[in-house]
Structure 1
Amino acid sequence: MTPQPGEESTETFEALLRYVRDARGFDFTGYKRTSLMRRVRHRMDQAGFSTFEEYLDTLQASADEFAALFNTILINVTSFFRDPPAWEYVRDEVVPALLAERGPSDPIRVWSAGCASGQEAYTLAMILAEAMGVDEFRQRVKIYATDVDEEALAEARAATYEAKAVESVPEDLRDRYFESVNGRYVFRKDLRRAVIFGRNDLVKDAPISRVDLLVCRNTLMYLNADTQRNVLSRLHFALAPRGVLFLGHAEMLLSHADRFSPLNLKYRFFRKVASVEDHGTRHAAVLMAERQGDVSGLASIRDLAFRAGPVAQIVVTGDDTVAMINQQAETTFGLSARDIGRLLRDLDVSYRPVELRSYLEQARVERRSARIQDVQWQRPGVDTVWFEIHVNPLVDTENGLLGISVVFFDVTSTRALLDKVVHTNRQLETAYEELQSTNEELETTNEELQSTVEELETTNEELQSTNEELETMNEELQSTNDELHTINDALRERSMELDEATDFVESLVSSIRLGLAVVDRQMRVVVWNRGCEELWGLRSDEAIGKTLTALDIGLPTAEVKPLIGKVFVDADVSEEVIVDAVNRRGRAARVRVLGTAFRSADGSGNGAVLLMEVVGH
C-alpha cells in the first residue's frame, strides 16, 4: 500500500530524528512533534530544502549544517534576571528561607538546568552572594549549570558578555560583579569558580543530586507528556528534602501535586513533596533526629546504606523506569549508574537470568509479591549461580503503587549445602531454619528500603499542552522580532515615498488648466481633472470608472473615438480634432481635442490622454 504524502513526510522526519540521535548523540525524539517539526522546517527553508529526505542527505554529509540545525531547535532565549518579579521572589523569599532551614556551615547546592549561555547561573550567583556575603558564598555554594548545547556552554564558561546583554542587571550589581574589559563585561573570577558548567541531557543523563534550589525554566514545555514525566521524576530525585523547583511561567505541574506542592503559583515555584517516609513509616532514630532539628545527612546515609546492601537489588517505578540500583546489582549484572532512568525492559537483566516482565506486571496490576525460586544462571567460563528472586510492589497506605523492588538472593551456596545434606533430615531442617532466618532479615531490610522510593506521576499533562505550545511560539517570535522591525521601517519609508509621489501627480494633474482626461483601452475614464469638471460640469467621482461614451456631457464622442482609435493603433502619433460641443453652461463651443498615447513603464500604450480646450464659440 502506497503511503500518503503526509505519512511519508512523517516517516522521513522520524528517520531524521533517529539519525540525529544515533549518529550525533542528541535525542530529540521526546520533544513535541508540532513545535519540533516547525523548527526543523524553519531551518530547511533557510538552507533551501523542501523535503526531509533531501535535508537528511545534507545532514549526513555536512557537520556545519548539523550545527545550524541544532542551534535552530534549541531556542537559547535567555537573559540576566529574566522576568524580574520572579527573581525578586527568589531574592526576598526563597533564598532567605533556604538559608534559615540550613546550618551556618551546611553547603548550598543549586542546579540551573538548561542554562544556555550562563546568564541564569550568574544571576543565581549574584543573588546568593548578596544574601550570604562574598566570603561565605565562596565557601558554601556550588552552582551546577548544565545544557546539551556545547557551543552555548563554551560561551557560558567564558563569562564575558556584550554591554547590551547586561543592561537588565541592576547598576549596583553590575558594578560589583562585572569588570569592563574592551567594551565587554566579565563576571568576577573569584565567584565564577563556584559555578560549574557541564553537559547534561535531562531526558537520559543522571541528575545532579541533593539540590536545594533547582531552576529549570521553559524546558518542559518543549517535551511530550511521557518525556515530561520522565524528566520530572529525575528533577524530583535531584531535589533535597524541602528543595525548591523554579519553572517557566508556562509550566504549571497541575497533575503532579503528589510530587510537588505549589510554593508560589504566580511565579511558578514548587516545593518537593515529602515521600512516604515522611508519613509515619520511618525508623525511630530518624524521627528522633527530626525532633532534635538535625536531619542533615540522613538522605546521604540512606543512599549509602542502599548502595552497600549485600544483596543485589533494583527498584523500578510504576512505569518500568529504573529508579535505584545498588552496588551489588551493578557488579553482578554489569550495570552502572547511567542505567538509572532507562526502562528496565531495555536492559538484559529484565530477561536474563529469568524473564521478569510478567512478574513485574503482576506486581503492578495485582499489588501482589512474587518469589521466583531455583533460577539458574550459567555464564561462559563462570560457575553456575542460583538465584531466588523476590518481586515486591511498593505501595503506600492507600494501596497506591510507588514502585517495584526486585531482589536477587544468591542461593548458590544454600543449594550446595542442601545437596550435601539431602539424605540427612536433621541437617536439612537446620539449613531450612537458617534460610528462613536469612529471608526474614532480608525482608525486614526490604521493608525499610521501601521508604526511600519516590512516587512517580501517572496522570496526563494534556491540560498544559496548549499553553506550552503558545509559549513555544512566543519564544520563536522573540527571535524574529528584530527582522520584523527592519521590515516595518523599510515599508514605512516606501509608504512615505509613495505618498509623496501620489501627492505630486495629483498636484500636477490639478495644475493643468486645460481639460485633461485619461481613458484605458476599454474607453473607461481613469483621470478626470479640474479643467474637465469646469468644461463639462461633471465631477471626477461621477466620471472616473465610467465609459467615456456613456458620460452625459456635451462632447460629441462619435467624432473623438476615431482619434482615440488611431492613438491605440500607433502609440507614437499625436492626433488633433476640433469639434462643436456644448459646455457645462449649455452654450455652444468649439473645442480642440488633442490625443496622445498613455504609455506604461515599458513603453507600451495602455490608453489615451485627451487634452481639451475651448477655441471659440
Structure 2
Amino acid sequence: MAAQKRSENGFPDEQAPDLEEANPEFEILLNYLKHHRGCDLTCYKRSSLMRRFNHRMQSIGIESYPHYLEYLQYCPEEYRTLLDDVLINVTSFFRDRHTWDYLAATIIPQIITRDPANLPIRLWSAGCAGGQEIYSLLILFAEAMGIEACLQRVQAFATDADETAIAQARQATYSPLEIVGLPEELRDKYFRQTQQGYIFNSELRQTVIFSQHDLIQDPPISRIDLLACRNVLIYFNSKTQDAILSRFHFALKSTGFLFLGQAEPLISRRRIFQPIDSSQRVYTKGESLELEDYISLIPPSSDRPTERSFVMENNFWKTAFETSYSARLAVDIKGQLLFANQRARTLFDLRIEDWKRPFQELKIGQLIDSHIFNQSLYGDRDILVLNSIEWKTDEEIQYFNIEISRVLALKNQVLGVNLTFIEINDYQQLSKQLSATRTELASISQALKKSKNELKKANKKLESAYQELEILHQDIYLSHPQSQPSDRA
C-alpha cells in the first residue's frame, strides 16, 4: 500500500483504497458460508482471511478452495473448527500495559468524577475474546472507586462474534499462563485460585452482560462512557471499518471515550473521532455523523433488491431527510420506522433499536390515530395534515402540525409515507394567551354589565327616594302653614 499523507492530528487526509484483488474461487467459498451457514466473512480483509483459511487447509491436507468447499459440505463439524481459526481470540490481561496505565491515570478519573455519583458508568468491550479486556477494565474502575462503589455504579457489556469466546469469558477461569504479567497484588485481590485455574471475582463478574454480537449486522449498545475495541478493526476492510466506527460514534455519549489497540491507528474517511493521545489510541467524538453514516447503521440486507433499495437508488434519503429544522420520519409500506432525521431523533428520543419497529408501537406513533395512519398509508390521499397535536414529555408540552405525505415510485406504487412535524409552540402559546385574554375580557365585560345593571338599579332607588322626600316635604308644608315666614310691611 502506498504511503499516505497525514494531517497534524494523526488522521489520513484521504482514505486509502483496499488494493486486494479478489480470488473468484475464494469468493465462492465465502458466499457459501454467508448463504448456507449464516456466517458473513465478506467484510474482512482478504489477505488476513486467506492466510487463516490457508493455515486451516494445510493442517488437513487440502490445497484448493473448491476442494475445501466440498469438505465443508460433507463435514459439517469443520465449520466450527474453521471459525475458531479465523476468529483469532488473542488477548491478555492489561495487554500493552502502558496504555492501561494511561487509562487509569488520565481517562478513568474523568469518567468517575464527570457525572453525579448516582449516574451509572457504562463500559463496552467489543470483540471481548476470552474476557480479559472487560475484566481488566473492571479492575481499574474497582481500584479507582472501590469495589462496593464499582458494583453499585458500573454497568459492563462484553460482546464477540464467536460464541465459544463468549462462553469462555462467562466462565472467567484462567490458567496460570493466561494471567502471566498480572501484578501479584491484583491477582490476589481479584482472583481465587482453584484446581481449575484462577477465577475472577464473582461479584464483579456478575456486573457484566455477555452476548454474541456482530459489529456489522447488530445495533450498537448505547450511552457508553468507555468503549474498548482493541485490535479488531485491523481484520476488516476500510469500508467496513467506516461503518463500524459510525456505530461506535452512535454508541458513545458525547463525553465518551473510544479505546483501540496499538496495532490499529484510527483511519476513517471523516474525522468523526479525534485523538486525545494518538500514541495511546484513545479518542473522543469529533465531527457529527452525516446522513450516509446513519444509513450505514441500518444492517445490510441479504435479500434481493426491494422497494427500500429502489428508494435509496432514487435519492429518496437526500431529498426527504436532508437536515432541516422540522423533524422528519420515514415509514415503509409495512408501517415500520425506516429512518429519522437528526431533529426527530433528538426531539422524540429515537434510538437505533427503534429502527424497523412498527411506527405505532413507538411513543411518537401513538399521537396519530391508527385509522388515520392506515388511511394515509393505504388510502388514496397523497397528503394528510393534522393540526395542533400535543406531545407531552416529563419536561414540557409541545405542539405540532403533522403533515403525512405518501412516497410514490414509478406507476404510483406506494413505498411508504414521510411524516413532517412542524413545531407550532409559539403559535399555540400565543393562541392560548389570546384565548385566555378573550376569556378574561369576557369576564370583565360580564362584571361591567353586572355593575352597570346594579348601578342602574341604585339610580332608580335614589330617584324613588328623592321623590318620596319631595312628597314628604310638601305634606309637612301643608300641615304646618304657620311655620312659614310672614310678610311684614
8 Å Cα contact 2:401/2:421 also seen in 1:
no
8 Å Cα contact 1:242/1:273 also seen in 2:
no
In 2: Cα distance, 1:133 partner to 1:71 partner: 37
Secondary structure of the residue aligned to 1:321 is: helix
Task: Tell me which amino acid in the other structure corresponds to 1:360.
Answer: F
Q: Report what 1:358 is aligned to.
A: 314
Task: Tell me which amino acid in the other structure corresponds to 1:439.
Answer: E
Greater relative contact order (CA < 8 Å, ≥ 6 in sequence): 2
Check 1:357–1:129 CA distance in 2 against 1; reply closer, same or farther (3 A cut).
same
Instruction: Give the Å deviation of 1:168.
Output: 1.3
Runs of 4+ aligned structure 1 residues displaced above 4 Å come to: 343-349, 364-369, 389-394, 405-419, 430-437
Check 1:100–1:229 CA distance in 2 against 1; reply closer, same or farther (3 A cut).
same
Higher-Rg structure is: 1
Instruction: Give the Å deviation of 1:8.
Output: 12
In 2: Cα distance, 1:77 partner to 1:132 partner: 29
Instruction: Give the Å deviation of 1:257.
Output: 5.6
Check 1:102–1:434 CA distance in 2 against 1; reply closer, same or farther (3 A cut).
closer
Instruction: Give the Å deviation of 1:105.
Output: 1.2
In 2: Cα distance, 1:342 partner to 1:376 partner: 16
8 Å Cα contact 2:401/2:423 also seen in 1:
no
In 2: Cα distance, 1:241 partner to 1:364 partner: 27
Instruction: Give the Å deviation of 1:157.
Output: 1.1
Task: Tell me which amino acid in the other structure corresponds to 1:317.
Answer: L
In 1: Cα distance, 2:114 partner to 2:373 partner: 46
Secondary structure of the residue aligned to 1:214 is: strand
Gapped runs of 5+ residues in structure 1? 1-6, 277-315, 324-339, 370-374, 380-384, 395-404, 420-429, 447-617
TM-score (norm 2): 0.62
Instruction: Give the Å deviation of 1:361.
Output: 6.7
> Is the counterpart of residue 239 in structure 1 residue 269 in structure 2?
no
- Which of 218, 224, 230 in structure 1 is aligned with 2:231? 218
In 2: Cα distance, 1:146 partner to 1:376 partner: 31
8 Å Cα contact 1:144/1:197 also seen in 2:
yes
Q: Size of the alignment, in residue pairs? A: 354
Q: How does 1:380-395 map to 2 (within 5 A)?
A: none
TM-score (norm 1): 0.50
Deviation readout 1:304-344 (Å, 9 max, x if unpaired) = xxxxxxxxxxxx93268264xxxxxxxxxxxxxxxx33369
Secondary structure of the residue aligned to 2:116 is: coil
In 2: Cα distance, 1:9 partner to 1:433 partner: 56
Secondary structure of the residue aligned to 1:78 is: coil
In 2: Cα distance, 1:170 partner to 1:164 partner: 13
Check 1:88–1:61 CA distance in 2 against 1; reply closer, same or farther (3 A cut).
same
Instruction: Give the Å deviation of 1:129.
Output: 0.7
Check 1:269–1:178 CA distance in 2 against 1; reply closer, same or farther (3 A cut).
same
Secondary structure of the residue aligned to 2:124 is: strand
- Which of 137, 144, 152 in structure 2 is aligned with 1:131? 144
Q: How does 1:252-271 map to 2 (within 5 A)?
A: 252-255=265-268, 258-271=271-284
Q: Report what 1:106 is aligned to.
A: 119
Q: Report what 1:444 is aligned to.
A: 422
> Is the counterpart of residue 34 in structure 1 residue 47 in structure 2?
yes
Instruction: Give the Å deviation of 1:413.
Output: 5.1
Q: How does 1:40-439 map to 2 (within 5 A)?
A: 40-182=53-195, 184-255=197-268, 258-273=271-286, 275=288, 317-318=291-292, 321=295, 323=297, 340-342=298-300, 348=306, 350=308, 355=311, 357-360=313-316, 363=319, 437-439=401-403
Task: Tell me which amino acid in the other structure corresponds to 1:444.
Answer: I
Check 1:357–1:49 CA distance in 2 against 1; reply closer, same or farther (3 A cut).
same
Instruction: Give the Å deviation of 1:258.
Output: 3.1
Secondary structure of the residue aligned to 1:77 is: coil
Gapped runs of 5+ residues in structure 2? 1-19, 326-330, 344-354, 360-364, 390-399, 405-418, 425-489
8 Å Cα contact 1:247/1:269 also seen in 2:
yes
